[in-house]
Structure formats: structure tokens, C-alpha cells
Amino acid sequence: MEAVGSVEVAKHVLLLFGLILAIGTATGLLASKLKVPDVALFLLVGLALGPDALGLIHVKADSALNQVILIFGSCYILFDGGASLRFNVLKEVWITIAVIATAGVVITGAVTGLAAHYLLGVPLIVALLLGASLASTDPATLVPIFKQIAIRDRVAQTVMSESAFNDAMGAIATFAVLGVAMGTGEFSIATALKDLLWQAGLGIVLGGTLGYLAALLIAHEKWDFLAEYAPLVSLMAVIGAYMGADGAHASGFMAVFVFGMVIGNKTFFGFKMEEHESERLEEYVSTTALIMRMFIFLLLGAQVDFALMNQYLLGGAAVVLVMMFVARPLAVFLCAGPDRRAKWSKEELLFMCWTRETGVIPAALAGLLLGMKAPGAQMIASVTFLAVLMTILIQAPTTLWLARRLGLLVEG
């Protein structure tokens, strides 16, 4: 009987995957026709397919299947984003990236937390816990947007890099505040900095090392005996980079992102692939990243808990608006504005203020807080759902319009 039950579960999962691929393909084509980022439509369609609506997709947020999809999907999208960055562009804006991915997270979390304290009437430490969990931006959302919209290189690469690098800071800030909220620790700036340097630094080292090794095996003049298997190498290395860094208590997402950067800039290290092999790898990576977007955002939409979200609907929406229109602009102008090396224009700064979608990482942190029964976890999950919906459905579809109004589109 147990074997029969396993077969039925397998059939159910297979049917689910087929359904997501079919609906995702149709939704992606519609997004292309409408010229809007596909992640926004994936999220909307997911809302319609979830158990609170049509009931066609029902995957629990805390299930092993969902966690595998979230972790691997986010990793592969990050790898794709890292591979699209170029060192010659990043050298102009690295100061902004470093400051906004660290101090910017603190500013965003603090302002959002204070807003939650006054607007929702929750204790300050619980409000700051909410602010910390919402403070990081979402690479799984932002990377696809900039893949689909041709924005000025240095702006797009700054926002994508920030979204990858600030995950570690967001997680560190969340668990530092959680320790205080649960009475198990005291916040220490020195400890937080030490954790950040360890997680980010080791993630960079591991990702860079694996990226160089992978580039050697697929693009070296003499040692490229895995060139024909480059797509498989990318899969193995993405999993290896994440698991290796995670096992060493470093940032797995950082490692994967840096791995992608090294692969994308392999000519910088003297490696070069045959043209047809390079095109095959690029097609494979873009297709796999698209599939991961379908799964992540259709499932994320299907898992929105409307009953939970309604508990803090008005106050939560007000907090998210403060985050979008006050906290984010403050972080951008205070962290990027003084960067004399980058010499950001007012238009570029305004555009960066608008691109801070909330998605997979804050949702995952909210889920962890729920599982740990953290103080205010229900409220945090409710406002996080709202933040995901509001930022992706408001900011993502208007990115192209704003870039055009500010003169930041690149004609191609």
C-alpha cells in the first residue's frame, strides 16, 4: 500500500509540474505581447490558481518540494544574473553597491520598522523585526526584469548586484533582531559586522573558486574537456556553490552569484569558448532561468494566505507604502548619492528608488519566523505577503515606463 501511495504522490507532482509549465508558457507569451515583466503576470496567475481561488495549485509553503524549488530556482536565477554582469561596469559602481547593500539595508529596515510601530501599534522590537525581514530586495524578481528591459548598463548592474549582495545583510539583521525579541541575545554591531564579513567574504571566495574551476574546464585552450557538457557543469556548480557555502555557514546566494559573475567574465581570465558552445550554454541558462521563474512566482502567488493578509490589510499596506516611498529613497540618496566615483545623475537615483521589489527572500524569512513562533510572526507574514504583492504588481510593470520617462532606456 505504501508503494501505491508513493506512485500516486509521484503522479500528482508530475501533473503539477506539467500544469505549471503549460500555464507558465502561456503566461510568459502574454507578458511578452503586453511588454511587461513576466514575474508580475506569473504572480497574478498564481493568485488565481491557488487554493483560495480555483484550487488548481496547492503546494504548502513549508513542504520539502516547495523549499527545493525556492532554493534551486533562486540560485539559478542568481547565477543567470551574475553571468550577465561585466567587471568593466562594476568597477565604476562598486562603492555604491557595497554601501547600499549594507547601510542601505539598515536604513530601510529602521524606517520601515518605525513606520510599523506607529501605524500598526506593535512593540518596537517586533516592528524592527518586520523591518529587517523586509529590508532586502529580491534578485529572483529584479534579475528577470533587467533581462527583459534594456536599461543603462551601470544602473541595471548596480540594482542586480545590490539585490544579490543584500540578502546576507537582510538575514543577519533579521536574526540579530530576533535574538533580542526572543530574549536570547543582545544586538551587537561588532558581531553583526563579523557575521556579515564571514558570510559574504567566504561566499565570494567559494563562488569565485568554483567559477574559475568551471571556466577552466569548459573554456580553457587545453583543459576544456567538459566544454560539451557546459550546461551540466553550470547545474552541478550552482548546486555545489550553494551547498558548499551553506555548509560553511556562509551566504550560499552570494557564492552562486559570484560563480555566475566569473563564468560571465571568463574572457577576463583568458578563457574563451567556441562560439557554438557559448551560444548553447546561453540558451540553456536562459531557458532554465525562465522555467525557475515560472515555478517560483506561480507557487508564490498560489501560497498567498488571504485570510492572514486581511488581518493587517490597511495598516500593512500603509507600512509597505512607507517602505516604497520613504525608506527606499532615503537609502538610495544617502548611500548612492555621495558616491563621487559613480557620479549618479538625479534620473538614475530616482530609478533606483523605484526598483526594490520584495519577493522570495523576505517571504522565506517570514516563513522561518512563523515556524520558530517568533514574536509577531503572524503580523510579519501578513505584511510580507502584502509587500510581495504590492511591490511586484506595482513596481515591476511600471519599470519600463519609468525608465523611458527618465531617459534610461538603451536603444538596441
pLDDT in tens, 140-171: 777 777 877 888 888 988 888 888 778 777 87
The Cα 193–Cα 242 span in angstroms is: 22
Q: Which domains does the chain have, with CATH numbers?
A: 11-405 (1.20.1530.20)
- pLDDT recorded at residue 312: 87
Give the N- to C-terminal CA distance of the chain in Å, as an integer: 59
- pLDDT recorded at residue 80: 83
Are 269 and 222 spatial neighbours (Cβ–Cβ below 8 Å)?
Answer: no
Are 90 and 97 spatial neighbours (Cβ–Cβ below 8 Å)?
Answer: yes
Count CB atoms within 10 A of the CB of residue 314.
11
- Low-confidence stretches of the chain (pLDDT beneath 70): 1-4, 183-189, 192, 371, 412
Question: What percent of the chain clears pLDDT 70, i.e. is strictly above it?
Answer: 95
This prediction has a pTM of 0.79
- pLDDT recorded at residue 117: 94
- pLDDT recorded at residue 370: 73
347-405 per-position pLDDT tens digit: 999 999 998 888 777 877 777 777 677 888 888 888 988 888 888 888 888 988 999 99
- pLDDT recorded at residue 3: 61
Cα 164 to its chain centre, rounded Å, is 7
- pLDDT recorded at residue 412: 57
Q: How far is CA 176 from CA 85, 170, 183, 187, 198, in A?
A: 31, 10, 11, 6, 15
